[in-house]
A and B are shown apart, each in its own frame.
Chain A
């Protein structure tokens, strides 16, 4: 399977589109639009999983696709939107890093992923290499997003995006055991944190979910 063949091209297209949505997440400043981008990334992940399920003749990947579609493209974005409405976050979001620098850092991270993965996978098949690069890039961009945003919900979105990258890597590894179990477990992690934000804001009536507020309580109060 290599460039120019349909199974490869479609897998590459879907992975590339996921990377593109990661960049959207990186520069977008409006929170609702970010949730939309996240939902789009989840839907692309579901499509990629289903496609790999067909190409690899691995029916369990359809389960991964279904779970990704229901949870990441529908349920979690809906929950986040509800949360945003309740917390009144329909305004511009501050980033610790400006759009320009964060995009430059993003491109640098993608270059880093390429430079890291290409030499070590010289023996592997082309699809494995490209898939790993795309997955690692999505992972690193998610991490960058978590670093540059100071808002709790946006950190959750960053964590979810990282996790999308992980699942992309897992479904691309042909014959990987426990893919369904691992992807579900990773999803539980994200669902847990979304639930956590929900519960704490309802119970504790935090006026703000900006983690800057929490910083007041850090360390030893002197």
Chain B
């Protein structure tokens, strides 16, 4: 079996095993073990020759993101192992939760690795189903409402994406011929300039709206804050860190095919508009949030929007900024959710007002969370500063008139984050109303939190040359 399929099927085999294990503690350990094995396998991808293997492909665009996904999967599994006992799952829910977690990770990897757009669609659908299951895991009315909203909106979204995929095939069919090549991304990209531009336009609109729903682009974002606030906390980390990336990269793959044909509408203008709308709406909405998890979910909407804006701007430098931003956001945002998860457990509530003065009462957690929030606000020296700086420079060079709305969005959002940082981490500590997690559980949250911060710092100030070269390759792949 080729390596990409092993990376997909290992978590799925793990999911089967986890579904069979009744004990929560044992399942949590096995979950970490499977995630660690997947991560090690993903590291092998860096040495794997780039190219297409049947339905999958390995290229500069997906290797870093698959590895990142596996890394965040591992740290989230570790966090989840420390905190799952406190989620209050019965045996059935515990089994479903762990199995869905690994099912999600496998589907996520497949969505990134697939070359065949049909396979990619199936993978994103499986990831949706698994994440709905995880969001609903608590079974409270609020969780079920969030899961239902998530399911209906994303169900409609992926239905539209499938229609887009079919139309894309119809456009390519006269040129690419029958059979699997008609849905292969590589083949479609090569023949796109001969395809009917009208059908390509139609396909792109459906693919953008379909996968854009999953990426949380405004105005298709409304499921995201609920889903991230109501599910188990480890899920917020993987939703923000992985799902949004995979969906946005799916949109990008569609965009690359469409812009390869000169007769089509300006697909990047759509991406740019949706991205800017997301940045602006999120920057305003952040000020009205009282719930910490919803606050950071809204920040995810803004950051994905920023990446979409970068890809819409186009050009190698802007694309590289977008990819760097996606990766940096995943690393830092999952770190934040680990910290917030720990704080919520300590304080017994997830309101921003309930979490206060963490630095004074719990220094390791408080400083970690404070630095992570500062990083997500785009302060140097973390990687988000680097990508935002690059993006602003590119915007100035390519379309200076987009600079005012972009900067307003960036600064409004950053200010909201700094205010929240002060509310949560500084000032007089609030009483610990919750059940304090044990020493091992605290380590499971603080370890991943600080490791993620170090990683974001490393990407920001000292990115290894091979990784930087790969990022440039990926940016060129996006045109």
Contacts and interface: CB of A to CB of B under 8 A. Distances in A.
Nearest to A215: B145
B105 to A, nearest CB: 19
B159 A120 contact: no
Interface in A191-207: 192-193, 196, 200, 203-204
B155 A177 contact: no
B141 interface: yes
Contacts of A117: 202
Interface stretch (A76-84, A104-112, A121-129): A121-129
A99 B189 CA distance: 45
A193 B178 contact: no
Contacts of B116: 177-178
Interface in B128-159: 128-129, 132, 136, 139, 141-142, 144-145, 147-149, 151-152, 155-156, 158-159
B152 A159 contact: yes
A87 interface: no
Contact of B144 (A132, A139, A214): A214
B163 A166 contact: yes
Given A136-B163, A200-B144, A120 B182 contact: no
Nearest to A129: B170
A44 interface: no
Contact of A178 (B136, B158, B183, B199): B183
Given A159-B156, A193-B151, A177 B183 contact: yes
A170 interface: yes
Interface stretch (B246-254, B286-294, B381-389, B434-442): B286-294
Contact of B129 (A152, A170, A192, A211): A192
A217 interface: yes
A217 B121 CA distance: 31
Given A121-B198, A124-B196, A170-B166, A185 B159 contact: no
A61 to B, nearest CB: 13
Contacts of A119: 198
B173 A122 contact: no
Interface string A151-162: 010010001001
A120 B198 contact: yes
Contacts of A193: 151, 155
A163 interface: yes
A109 to B, nearest CB: 14
Main secondary structure of the interface of A (DSSP, over half): helix
Interface string B402-429: 0000000000000000000000000000
A174 B178 contact: yes
B173 A121 contact: no
B173 A175 contact: yes
Given A120-B202, A123-B196, A220-B290, A178 B159 contact: no
A88 interface: no
A152 B148 contact: yes
A188 interface: yes
B344 interface: no
Interface in A170-196: 170, 173-178, 181-182, 185-186, 188-189, 192-193, 196
Contact of A214 (B141, B183, B291): B141
B87 interface: no
A169 B122 contact: no
Interface string A205-222: 000000100111111101
A124 B147 CA distance: 41
A169 B168 CA distance: 12
B167 interface: yes
Contacts of B226: 218-219
Contact of A116 (B145, B182, B202): B202
A17 interface: no
Contacts of A211: 148
A184 to B, nearest CB: 9
Given A174-B173, A214-B148, A162 B159 contact: yes
A165 B160 CA distance: 10
Central interface residue in B152, B162, B173, B294, by most chain A CB within 10 Å: B162
B179 interface: yes
A46 interface: no
A57 to B, nearest CB: 12
B186 to A, nearest CB: 14
B118 interface: yes
B152 A120 contact: no
Contacts of A40: none
A139 B170 contact: no
A169 B141 contact: no
A18 interface: no
A189 B160 CA distance: 13
A175 B182 CA distance: 9
B155 to A, nearest CB: 6
Contacts of B132: 192, 196
Nearest to B123: A185
A170 to B, nearest CB: 5
Contacts of A173: 166, 169-170, 173
A49 interface: no
B196 A189 contact: no
Contacts of B144: 200, 204, 214
Interface in B193-232: 196, 198-199, 201-202, 225-226
Nearest to A139: B163
A185 to B, nearest CB: 5
B163 A169 contact: yes
Contacts of B126: 185
A135 B144 CA distance: 32
A166 B179 CA distance: 19
B162 A166 contact: yes
A112 to B, nearest CB: 12
B190 to A, nearest CB: 17
B166 A143 contact: no
5 contacts: A124-B199, A132-B170, A165-B163, A169-B163, A220-B289
Closest 3 CB pairs of A and B: A120-B198, A175-B178, A178-B118
